[in-house]
Amino acid sequence: MALANFRPGNHDLIIIDIRMPKINGFDLYRELKKRDGGIKVCFLTAFEIYYEEFKKMFPAIDVRAFIRKPVSISSLVSQVNSIIEST
């Protein structure tokens, strides 16, 4: 599991799928933030995001930190670089 292998301070950005078995992406995000408050996270999803509801749940996350599936490798790289550079 990703959480068991997580080491604070070792990552520039973590990409988390919102829907996963055993733990959803939001719960994983909460656990990662407990272990490393400065961690940068980007959510990956195939589902529509309701930004206003999301902002209520996670006001500290910039809504640009979402990548929608399907995504090409070049688009993924571009979006990840943009997120890393902007934060």
Identity at 44, one-letter amino acid code: L
Q: How far apart are CA 69 and CA 9, in angstroms?
A: 28
Residue 81, Cβ neighbours under 10 Å: how many?
11
Q: What is the pLDDT along the chain (87 residues), one digit of tens a residue?
A: 678 889 998 988 899 998 888 888 888 988 998 999 888 888 888 876 666 666 777 676 655 678 888 899 999 999 888 888 876
pLDDT attached to residue 48: 67
Burial class (CB in 10 A: 0-12, 13-18, 19+), 42: buried
Q: Where are the domains of the chain?
A: 2-86
pLDDT attached to residue 36: 92
Stretch (H or E) spanning 33? helix 25-35
pTM exceeds 0.85 for this model: no
pLDDT attached to residue 56: 74
CATH code at 2-86: 3.40.50.2300
